[in-house]
Structure 1
């Protein structure tokens, strides 16, 4: 066991944030009003190249609001990946709608071949709407997740969107800072291409406000509606007139005080994470039975999470044995999420030709990747990974 804990993914905070926090305390603006909220929104919009951004309580809240303003209704269906964190799917249930699960490709993102095949052969396009032949329900939207900061194939997806008149909601909660280097969307950030994009600032994300999220869109009327709904739908805030059911989904000023500092450090964080990824990659290429998943070469990814694949036959132990051993010696690692179509609330929902996702669920391991991870820590992780080879196991 090593004499320190190497965490999986923790915040990279500076004490300079304290000046912002001190101001919120001195002014009393610690809740859902105050200058830092608008400042953070403006900085986010500028960073991702959008005209406006709306801060909210969490990435999940942002996804919920996005589905509502995109017109998803009770008994509609929304196509989602099964390989994702469950927060990408639960908001569909909040709306009284149902998910239809898609498989992943080798980038861990939604398989666009299977998506198009499903829409062509398992659905009907009637009166401008996609009807699921099996359920007879209207499919309104697709939620695409940029898994671990690796950009999904948005060029392909947007062609599918236009062909089938579907809404596209980008879950970019893991992908702040990732953008495209080639193709139709060159220099466009993840989250800025579909109808609406959502980001998260949870403590394990590349920048953090402790909690919180942000919503962006090229359709400013949608953002106006999101801002309205997120603050209890006050039509007249002076006389407390509410013409709709709203939500308490606004970000607090004290959270935004963190965000305005964190976003200024984002490019440095990405630079460090890319450097550390390459250190891992160089070493893992020489360990028989281990592969580190690549990021798309035609993108500038944010390198949020590092994933390794374990080939038990070549490496000598399986993923679960490696997971247990590393955590026992204070190297925090985690498996992939349990596939969502296998979770109890979704056992009766439709999945389409899910196959590859099972492989990654069983063989993938996430290893330490914080933006304040130092090279000495990486060397420790690599040393532990090298202990499990076929030769070592035979020697025992």
Structure 2
């Protein structure tokens, strides 16, 4: 009999999602309009605070694309992007035929390095073009170096698109991720800390940008009684059923964050017993991670490898995953400029994501601990 699978980060329903979905069916609002969308956006605005104007969209990728559009990114423009991220952070740059410039990570948060960022900006300026945007990521739920990056943003007057796809509920100096960028995004993909089955939000700092986002996300229909279109729009609006799932998920968000952070405490207790493995953790008390995923680093010269650990978990029907392969190492982007010392490449070579779902049971944890402790044998 096959062992029950332990997933990396599965969806975790709270129970009230069906109530909101049922309401959508009963009222016949099953399209990209309806009260679930409005209420889901309001709940997120109330949660995030700090001048957060939320537009619910079909994905986090769509949100990044529209953020670039709001910043008037066009063909040939430079856009600086953190290299250590999922490809969705960078692909929208190519949608607009702009030019990605990738930046390495620093060692404390594994996010965009301030020194390498400034080098990238200077390179762009020497080429005669100031970058149109800086895309920074809060990787695996860990906030980036907010103060340092925003200082550079202000110094060169370059707006920040904050990719907090993985960081709902994470904080820096007690302020939520998703509130730091000129524009910010969060993802609700099926594996995120809460989900709408697929979806995301674009968070703007003012109502006019929210209205502009909604206009572009609904095919850019002019304000006329008939269908008139003066510019290119997109079919990016979240639907009312997905938003209903989101409303139910918002009711259990704090519980899900607590459970993920408890997973991190569990992993720390296990890793403390292992000589050749480190656990990616908050560098200081300024950082508060939702620990969407827990990530281990195998130390150099260790006899064990990430491949061996992954295979051992796989044999026990336990899902793990390699880290994001940095963008500057991807075939699609290997001709792009990269600034840094390839720290993120070293992390990719030696890191592994471990099961981190908020429904991880004590029995599951016992199985995981046993494998980790015996991995060096």
Q: Give the alignment's TM-score, normalised by structure 1.
A: 0.91
**Shift in Å, 1:221:** 1.9
> Which runs of 5 or more structure 1 residues have no equivalent in the other structure?
124-130, 182-186
**Shift in Å, 1:64:** 0.2
Corresponding residue SS for 1:383: helix
**Shift in Å, 1:44:** 0.5
**Shift in Å, 1:381:** 0.4
1:201·1:212 contact (CA, 8 Å) conserved in 2?
Answer: yes
Instruction: Map 1:271-350 onto structure 2 (within 5 A).
Output: 271-296=258-283, 297-311=285-299, 313-314=301-302, 316-350=303-337
1:75 is aligned to 76
Match of 1:116 among 107, 118, 124: 118
Residues 24-82 of structure 1: per-residue CA shift (max 9 Å, x gap)? 12222111011000000000011011342110110000000000011111100111111
1:39 is aligned to 39
2:325·2:345 contact (CA, 8 Å) conserved in 1?
Answer: no
2:270·2:373 contact (CA, 8 Å) conserved in 1?
Answer: no
**Shift in Å, 1:312:** 5.6
How far apart, CA to CA, are the structure 2 residues paired with 1:305 and 1:57?
Answer: 23
Alpha-carbon RMSD across the aligned residues, in angstroms, is 1.6
1:158 is aligned to 150
**Shift in Å, 1:176:** 0.5
Corresponding residue SS for 2:314: helix
2:214 is aligned to 227
Instruction: Map 1:363-378 onto structure 2 (within 5 A).
Output: 363-378=350-365
2:190 is aligned to 203
2:14 is aligned to 14
2:138 is aligned to 146
**Shift in Å, 1:96:** 1.0
2:80·2:120 contact (CA, 8 Å) conserved in 1?
Answer: no
How far apart, CA to CA, are the structure 2 residues paired with 1:352 and 1:18?
Answer: 48
**Shift in Å, 1:138:** 3.8
Corresponding residue SS for 1:262: helix
How far apart, CA to CA, are the structure 2 residues paired with 1:118 and 1:24?
Answer: 48
> Which runs of 5 or more structure 2 residues have no equivalent in the other structure?
none
How far apart, CA to CA, are the structure 2 residues paired with 1:164 and 1:287?
Answer: 45
2:313·2:371 contact (CA, 8 Å) conserved in 1?
Answer: yes
1:103 aligns with 2:100: no
**Shift in Å, 1:245:** 1.0
How far apart, CA to CA, are the structure 2 residues paired with 1:357 and 1:228?
Answer: 37
**Shift in Å, 1:212:** 0.7
How far apart, CA to CA, are the structure 2 residues paired with 1:98 and 1:117?
Answer: 16
2:277·2:299 contact (CA, 8 Å) conserved in 1?
Answer: yes
Corresponding residue SS for 1:177: coil
Deviates more, 1:93-102 or 1:287-296: 287-296
1:311·1:318 contact (CA, 8 Å) conserved in 2?
Answer: no
1:145·1:152 contact (CA, 8 Å) conserved in 2?
Answer: yes
Q: Give the alignment's TM-score, normalised by structure 2.
A: 0.95
Residues 305-327 of structure 1: per-residue CA shift (max 9 Å, x gap)? 1000112634x211112112211
1:10·1:370 contact (CA, 8 Å) conserved in 2?
Answer: yes
How far apart, CA to CA, are the structure 1 residues paired with 2:269 and 2:48?
Answer: 31
Alignment: residue pair count: 374
How far apart, CA to CA, are the structure 1 residues paired with 2:31 and 2:120?
Answer: 45
How far apart, CA to CA, are the structure 2 residues paired with 1:301 and 1:290?
Answer: 20
**Shift in Å, 1:288:** 1.4
How far apart, CA to CA, are the structure 1 residues paired with 2:3 and 2:100?
Answer: 45
1:179·1:188 contact (CA, 8 Å) conserved in 2?
Answer: yes
1:132·1:139 contact (CA, 8 Å) conserved in 2?
Answer: no
1:55·1:251 contact (CA, 8 Å) conserved in 2?
Answer: yes
> Structure 1's 60 and 132: CA in aligned 2 closer, same or farther, altered over 3 A?
farther
